[in-house]
Amino acid sequence: MKKILYMVACLSFCSCAAQQGTSANFKTDPIAEKMLVYQLPNGGWPKQLIGGSVVNYNQPLDEALLSKIKATPEKHATIDNKATSREINALVKAYKATGNTNYLKAAERGIDYLFKAQYTNGGWPQYYPDHSLYRAEITYNDDAMVNVLNIMLNIATQANDFEVVDRKYTAKAEDAVKRGVDCILKTQVQKEGKLTIWAAQYDQNSLKPAKARNFEPASLSTSESVGIVRFLMRLKNPSTEIKQAISSAVDWLVQAKIVGYRFDKLANGDKGLIADPSATIWSRFYDFDNNQPIFGDRDNSVKTNVADISFERRNGYGWYGTWPTNLIAKEYPKWQKTIETTN
């Protein structure tokens, strides 16, 4: 009972501290309340706390967890694994549902953080302000930059609940989108003068494809490219350059499909390619020169056969997937019809 009372008191204290003089007569959302507690002083959110604990908003806020949150430095703020974008989206929705201004203020602080983190060239690093190792690279990996750009576009167009955000952010969001799109167009990989798709990471200065973790080599990346194309298709009145970027990427994805196999568990508990006439998959990474699937390992080696990498990595990463399926079959044709109608 004493522990329960302590937890309630902690939640109440953190919520009250965030109110900054607002009325106590408001509705609350339990997850949003926890997001207020986890927000770092610079406005961003971590994906992990000090000590490596993964952020889990379903976890009760006990004394030990509150101590970890308090000790987590600002450099842990990131857009990786949906961190910061997840919270901003959730807090905007929570504000609309409850009218609790604390949630909107926290979301806007998060938006301010995203503005600060954007490079002049339009890209976003995986972490800000921590630029050690590959954290400074422009990061499309796991849709990190696309998640941010979708927020910026929502602010600029007052879409998806973001009409509640202060209008002072509109012009800045429009500029962020413009520069972000410019970065996307500049980083689309060309081979022999023909546009292909995108890499997962880029050097923030040269805009050349870059490796991240040892098992994530610089390469053409299908999953991330699907996210980029989906974002570009959201843009109203796209330029000829944007339309060409979209169509070229989809054409490349169509050519890169692997028909007749799926990547699944084998009888021995390992994972590998299994013949399946009904299946169509794509490799996560493709070689720049020959468009063939490649696979990285923790020792920095790159293989052309998934069976040649270590058991741990073979079974611990999404080397194959169906990411482009709906894009090719449904979303892109629908976008094409829309473009034809509006032109």
Residues belonging to the active site = 81, 213
Long-range interactions of 47-55: CB distance < 8 A, separation 24+: 47/76, 47/78, 47/80, 47/81, 47/82, 47/83, 48/76, 49/76, 50/76, 55/83
Q: With contact defined as beta carbons under 8 Å apart, do 323 and 223 qualify?
A: yes
**Residue of 55, 6, 53, 11 whose CA lies nearest to 33:** 11
What is residue 335's three-state secondary structure?
helix
What is residue 281's three-state secondary structure?
strand
E-strand ranges in 185-340 read 190-191, 194-195, 201-202, 220-221, 258-265, 271-283, 285-286, 295-296, 302-303, 320-321
Q: With contact defined as beta carbons under 8 Å apart, do 85 and 93 qualify?
A: no
- Degrees (nearest 5) of the Cα angle 218, 221, 227? 135
50 by Cβ neighbours in 10 Å (0-12 / 13-18 / 19+) ranks as: middle
Q: With contact defined as beta carbons under 8 Å apart, do 151 and 85 qualify?
A: yes
